[in-house]
Amino acid sequence: MAIDLSNLVTESRNHHSEHIDTLSTLEMLKVINNEDKKVPFAVEATLPPYCTAGG
């Protein structure tokens, strides 16, 4: 059974890292770090629905 992953945001291209393979190690790590900084804000945005669902 095949699963269609094409519509998942996690499987889409990130234009910030399209050319990561051409960067120096330092620049590559900066790109990764900048993208990682977005995670806490994304999690924070999902907290209220969890609170209402779980009581």
Q: Where are the domains of the chain?
A: 20-54
Backbone Cα Rg of the chain: 16
For residue 35, the model assigns a pLDDT of: 95
Beta carbons of 34 and 16 less than 8 angstroms apart: yes
**For the chain, counts of helices (H) and of strands (E):** 2, 0
What are the pLDDT digits (tens) for 2-54?
888 888 888 888 999 999 999 999 999 999 999 999 999 999 998 988 888 66
End-to-end CA distance of the chain: 36
Q: What is the DSSP letter of 12?
A: S
Tokens of 31: 């790109």
